[in-house]
Amino acid sequence: TSRRKDAAWAQAYLERMTRVVLRDRNQPCVILWSLGNEASCGPNIDAMATWTRAVDPTRAVQYESCGGGKATDIICPMYPTPAQLAALTSLQEQNKRSAVFWRRWPASSASDLRPVIPCEYAHAMNNSLGNLDDFWRVIRSHRVTQGGFIWDWVDQGLLKESAEGESFWAYGGDFGEVVHDRNFCINGIVFPDRTLHPGAHQVKRSLQFISIEIEWAPAADNISRHIGATA
């Protein structure tokens, strides 16, 4: 939005951040600060980052919409491909002006590689998460790739009974409303009652701490086994 650059909105932007930090800075579960989500970048966002780092230098600051800009300590794109994720392990790619991830990232002059942690990299709607292993092969191959966040944890449905007396998880449109987001709140890896989606088993498999690889050399009729920790 244009407000990110509008000086008339600078104080409103800053107050939004100061209130959050001053409220939650003594909570040990807070491990980093986010400046917001999908709101583009500009001087008002940069001012939020500058103030936050000065008040709490013990925690990192992350912001997706500025790419590798100065407002973020973490490179945290939305929905990169595995190849794009691997490319972001390069300092040149982290600092490059880009519009690859549906945002206009500014150029940066950072001198050190930053951690790469996609703030969303898998969308758990319907029959999904089948390519999670492709991401984790990249993540485990580079020191700066440190995992990512799945959208999202739990289906946000409500238990309802049909005219036939059958119970089901209801979502947008099931309550007679005209304006709704259909099933867009049904995208977790667990159902509303916390039972597992099939995709949850894929997540468990991809994130397991032990990997086993078997290599077979036909000419030598030899099989070698590699077992290693993946944490």
The residue from 38, 93, 213, 215 that is catalytic is 38
Helices (H), the chain: 10-24, 43-55, 82-87, 91-95, 132-139, 198-206
Please name the residue that has the structure tokens 């409103």. Answer: 12
Chain position carrying tokens 């994720």:
85
Q: What are phi and psi of 158, to 5 degrees?
A: -115, 140
Contacts of 176 (CB under 8 A, 6+ apart): none
Q: For this structure, is 15 an active site residue?
A: no
* Nearest by Cα to 82 from 141, 27, 155, 169: 141
In the set 64, 120, 161, 164, the catalytic residue is 120
Amino acid, res. 2: S
Reply yes or no on whether 161 is catalytic: no
- C-alpha 228/C-alpha 211 separation (Å) is 6
Size of the chain, expressed as the number of residues it contains: 231
> Which residue type sits at 26?
N
- Cα–Cα distance between 66 and 40 in angstroms, integer? 6
Q: Which residues are catalytic?
A: 38, 120
